[in-house]
């Protein structure tokens, strides 16, 4: 399975910095906003970048590991929240409205009856939830490939509606457990270093969650050996969620199309880790919308070489932190494309 992601050309980033340093402001006085602007310019191959409408694909799936008592919420919340997304009643719907973004929902693995047709629902259910990763593989390799392509096609569909920014979101009770297992596997870290409280579990449930991640890792190692060196999609088939793998596909679709892609919290960034292992050029298109309170999210962002645009103690998912960052990315592009240089404005430059 190959993706046609072109490496970002550094020459355009260098040209962007040349212009940024001539704009009517002290050099680098807009800090990381200028870094964002230069990266957007390199992606668009222009020193006058522009960003308009955005989109987020919220991938939804259930997790067999929820049976281990690792979440504060019951599994039936996943299909209930899908209906809430489609009705416009969730947090991501309100944030998307404020950020000029459209919400698409991908049913890649919800356990329950099929959802009624809806213009923003993408029905591509690979299987009704994953296996319990503490006891069995999450899915087969063929199913992991199908989930990846489901996300990829959903991302292309969102882009076809005119999106110039693309984010991935997630919904799936139990998915921070799968994200912790995947992150530990990809980064070679112990379970406790990357496992957080997810939806807000108590101390007993947290200890149980760490133990479940440890069991899942031990089981996967017995099948694949060194998980850092194993085939990335095979690791995802052992440990990952269908919606996590689909999120990787969504982000890869944006990168292949040459648009900035924005990761959200812990589960989606586990998908970004997978995408980066499948396609090395992908990282040049990726931005971190925020840093969540999950301890593993910090480790993921460090591994990807990303700084968070926002840090608001979010832990909801749905793509909320990613879409909140859209206006900042638009502002970064506007600064580079719209500000005057000292010469253009007739302003005296500094020493």
* Tokens linked to 232: 């990335």
Q: What whole-number distance in Å separates Cα of residue 245 and Cα of residue 268?
A: 9
* Tokens linked to 146: 């199908």
Residue 279 burial (CB count, 10 A): 20
Q: What whole-number distance in Å separates Cα of residue 98 and Cα of residue 79?
A: 25
Return the beta strands (E) in the chain as ranges: 54-61, 101-109, 121-123, 165-171, 261-263, 286-290, 308-310
H helix or E strand, kind and range, residue 243: helix 242-257
Q: What whole-number distance in Å separates Cα of residue 171 and Cα of residue 193?
A: 23
What is the torsional sign of CA 17, 23, 25, 31?
negative
Q: Report which of 185, 270, 239, 269 is spatially closest to residue 64, judged by C-alpha positions.
A: 239
Residue 116 burial (CB count, 10 A): 9
Collapse the DSSP code of 309 into the 3-class scheme (helix H, G, I; strand E, B; otherwise coil) and give the result. strand
Active-site annotation holder among 145, 256, 294, 318: 318
Question: Is 2 noted as a catalytic residue in this protein?
Answer: no
Q: What whole-number distance in Å separates Cα of residue 62 and Cα of residue 73?
A: 12
Q: Which residues pair with 8 in a beta bridge?
A: none
- The DSSP string of 152-212 is HHHHHHHHHTT-SEEEEEEE-TTHHHHHHHHHHHHHT--HHHH---TTT--HHHHHHHHHH
Catalytic residues: 318
């Amino acid at each position: 399975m190959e993706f046609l992601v072109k490496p970002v050309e550094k020459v355009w980033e260098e040209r962007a910095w040349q212009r940024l340093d001539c704009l009517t402001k002290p050099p680098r006085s807009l800090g990381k906003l200028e870094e964002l602007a230069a990266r957007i310019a390199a992606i668009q191959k222009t020193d006058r970048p522009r960003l308009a409408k955005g989109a987020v694909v919220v991938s939804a799936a259930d997790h067999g590991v929820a049976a281990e008592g690792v979440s504060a919420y019951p599994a039936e919340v996943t299909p209930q929240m899908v209906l809430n997304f489609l009705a416009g009643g969730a947090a991501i719907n309100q944030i998307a409205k404020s950020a000029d973004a459209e919400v698409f929902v991908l049913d890649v693995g919800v356990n329950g009856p099929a959802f009624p047709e809806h213009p923003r629902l993408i029905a591509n259910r690979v299987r009704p939830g994953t296996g319990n990763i503490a006891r069995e593989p999450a899915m087969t390799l063929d199913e992991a490939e199908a989930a990846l392509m489901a996300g990829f096609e959903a991302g292309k569909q969102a882009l076809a509606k005119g999106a110039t920014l693309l984010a991935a979101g997630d919904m799936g009770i139990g998915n921070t457990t799968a994200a912790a297992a995947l992150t530990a596997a990809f980064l070679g870290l112990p379970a406790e270093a990357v496992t957080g409280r997810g939806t807000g579990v108590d101390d007993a449930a947290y200890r149980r969650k760490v133990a479940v991640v440890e069991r899942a890792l031990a089981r996967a190692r017995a099948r694949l050996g060194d998980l850092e060196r194993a085939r990335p999609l095979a690791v995802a088939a052992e440990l990952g969620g269908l919606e996590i793998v689909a999120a990787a596909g969504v982000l890869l679709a944006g990168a292949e199309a040459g648009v900035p892609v924005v990761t959200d919290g812990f589960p989606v960034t586990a998908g970004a880790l997978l995408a980066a292992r499948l396609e090395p050029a992908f990282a040049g298109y990726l931005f971190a919308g925020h840093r969540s309170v999950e301890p593993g999210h910090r480790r993921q962002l460090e591994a990807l070489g990303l700084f968070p645009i926002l840090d608001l103690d979010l832990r909801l998912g749905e793509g909320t932190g990613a879409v909140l960052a859209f206006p900042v990315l638009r502002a970064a592009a506007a600064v580079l494309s719209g500000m005057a240089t000292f010469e253009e404005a007739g302003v005296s430059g500094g020493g």
